[in-house]
Chains A and B, each alone.
Chain A
Amino acid sequence: MNYLLLIPATLLLLLVFGFPLIRYFWLSLHASSVLTGLEPIYNNGANWIRLISDGRFWQDLYQTSRFAVFSVGIEMILALVIALLLNNEWKSKQIYRSITLLPWALPTTIMALSWRWIFNTPYGPIDQILNLIGFNNLNILSNPSLAWVGTVIADVWKTTPFIALILLAGLQTIPVDLYEAFRLEGGSPKQSFLYITLPLLKPYLLLGLIFRLAQAFGVFDLIQVMTGGGPASSTESLAIYSYLNAMRFLDFGYSSTIMLASFMILIFVCLSAYIVTITITNNFRRYKL
């Protein structure tokens, strides 16, 4: 009887989540491109075989993971530091908190465009600073081995506040009493961070991590605007490759295969991240007596 109440939510989920997935899966088993006149023709898993031997797919998978790992990793650490700072009793802390949140409030397209200009050679400030300290004509966004760093920096700038906000909310749920009691018992600041803050922040860390990993793994708009996947596909993400296949090469079958493959990889990545976080935040558990 109780399950009846779940029906609307389940239906909605199936509609917006289940249906596209099944559709992707179905498409991935068919050739559906300009060659077939966009008619889906069952092709015996040829898309999947193509995927496995597609060097560009593996290259993009590597690039996407590199982007996700670096930006989410840096964001988590920076956000934790910022959240810890903002959690202190400061004069006019509200102002700092609001300022911190500003980058996140900007639409991605606009901030990505701004960052393109910030990195611009020779007009952007970064280029001029690099010139001053002796790196001439580094031209970050046009350099195939450096451009991805530029996209990571922009992403970190934009999304750190979001995680910081989640973590700050988490920090504020921890009663001050706990720290004081621990201090009276001889705990050092470092120990209270390890034994109290981290474990109690675990749900919030997980939330931020999973949320951001999923987002970063599917990154599209930021890269599309900043570099368009270039130079020489060096910043191309799986989402962009899939988009190119669908919208430029009009190969919907293969595009769906890429999407589905990255979705499965993402699930695997999130699960691993989940397990890793649980393990490192579970300090001083499993104490047997």
Chain B
Amino acid sequence: MTLTLENLGLCVQRNWIIRNINIEVQPGECLALLGPSGCGKSTTLRLIAGLDKPSEGSISLFNKDLKGISPVNRKIGMVFQSYALFPHLTVVENLALGLKVRGYSIAEQKRRISYVLELLQIATLRNRKPQEISGGQRQRIALARALLRDPLIYLLDEPMSNLDAQLREDLRPELRKLIISGDKPVIYVTHDQQEAMAISNRIAVLNNGNLEQIGTPQELYLKPQSIFVANFIGRPQINMFEPLDSIRIAVRPEDIYLDPDGIQCKLIYKEWLGQNQLLFFDTPKGTIRMIGDTALDIPSEPRITWKKQKEHHFSTKSGKRIS
């Protein structure tokens, strides 16, 4: 069941919120939708779910156009950014409501709910209300609800954005086991590039409603197709040099190294990152960031350089990659 977005666009009051989105998600593939706040990630999901109607382009599942198919019949398992749990219902009731309106018998409801409660290890919470459980537990309930939907597509809208960094990492394997390693297309929205790289097979980078690049995490990292992607992917951030002859050169901090024949520079300060350190050098080309070994000895008059083939070249006009 391949999910295909073709030339998708949404225009609200003469503003294009997203435009020209072309994405294909294979069954069993997890595509991360990555981008800064307000770039149109949630909007894209809403279009796929059928909560909004596209102004142009089409969405199809397994070559079948979804136009005119109601949100219910699209069979979407969605986890909302806010979880959207019903505050007046207990955990069990939250899970049961959807099954009930879809006409499952009480016995069947019980069987399915018990199953996911066990699966997600939340059985002890069954009679609590959403405001009586923690953020991580709420997130599990929202996942459980999506699982119970038995959907054709999973749409997860920043499912971990309300959780602390530790919990996010703890929940990743669970998410992978339950949803991502299945045979359904999964779209995982996040603005955390590390999470995107960790969890997905491919990443689509959105900026300002436009698809900047789509590819595997490695492709995005090694061959960013635009200045935006180069800046957005990879921490510490890539070194962007001042443009020369309408070409902008960028080099990743880890590709910089000390070399007696390099350019002259001055160490401004260091950030200790744990396994290595981030060094800031003042050079005629501006400040350059370099990742170095913690044991690295910085000479009093350091010189740094990088390999020519590690350079990324971008056109200043279009912001796109050259060659």
Given A185-B72, A187-B101, A191-B101: A289 and B96 within 8 A (CB)? yes
CA A287 to CA B100, docked complex, whole Å: 11
Q: Which chain B positions have C-beta within 8 A of A183?
A: 51, 71-72
Kindly identify which residue among B76, B92, B102, B114 contacts A287, using a CB–CB cutoff of 8 Å. Answer: B92
Q: Which chain B positions have C-beta within 8 A of A180?
A: 51, 80, 84
**A177 at the A/B interface (Cβ < 8 Å)?**
yes
Q: Which chain A positions have C-beta within 8 A of B39?
A: none
Per-position contact with B for A174-185: 1 when CB-CB < 8 Å, else 0?
A: 010110111111
Per-position contact with A for B145-173: 1 when CB-CB < 8 Å, else 0?
A: 10001000000000000000000000000
Per-position contact with A for B117-134: 1 when CB-CB < 8 Å, else 0?
A: 000000000100000000
User: Are B84 and A178 in contact (CB-based, < 8 A)?
Assistant: yes
**B38 at the A/B interface (Cβ < 8 Å)?**
no
**B194 at the A/B interface (Cβ < 8 Å)?**
no
Q: Which residues of chain B (42-100) have a CB below 8 Å from chain A?
A: 49, 51, 71-72, 76, 78, 80, 82, 84, 86-90, 92-93, 96-98, 100
Taking the closest CB of chain B, its distance from the CB of A90, in whole angstroms, is: 15
Q: Which chain B positions have C-beta within 8 A of A175?
A: 82, 84
User: Are A181 and B102 in contact (CB-based, < 8 A)?
Assistant: no
Kindly identify which residue among B78, B109, B110, B114 contacts A181, using a CB–CB cutoff of 8 Å. Answer: B78
**A43 at the A/B interface (Cβ < 8 Å)?**
no
CA A173 to CA B145, docked complex, whole Å: 23
CA A285 to CA B100, docked complex, whole Å: 13
Kindly identify which residue among B49, B86, B98, B110 contacts A289, using a CB–CB cutoff of 8 Å. Answer: B110
Contact size range, A: 20 to 34
Interface class of chain A by DSSP: helix
Kindly identify which residue among A187, A196, A289 contacts B92, using a CB–CB cutoff of 8 Å. Answer: A289
Taking the closest CB of chain A, its distance from the CB of B145, in whole angstroms, is: 8
Q: Which chain A positions have C-beta within 8 A of B88?
A: 199-200, 202, 285
| 11 pairs from A and B in contact (CB 8 Å cutoff) | A177-B80, A182-B101, A185-B72, A186-B101, A187-B101, A188-B101, A191-B101, A195-B101, A284-B93, A284-B97, A289-B96
What is B's interface to A at a CB cutoff of 8 Å? 49, 51, 71-72, 76, 78, 80, 82, 84, 86-90, 92-93, 96-98, 100-102, 109-110, 113-114, 126, 145, 149
What is A's interface to B at a CB cutoff of 8 Å? 175, 177-178, 180-188, 191, 195-196, 199-200, 202, 284-285, 287, 289
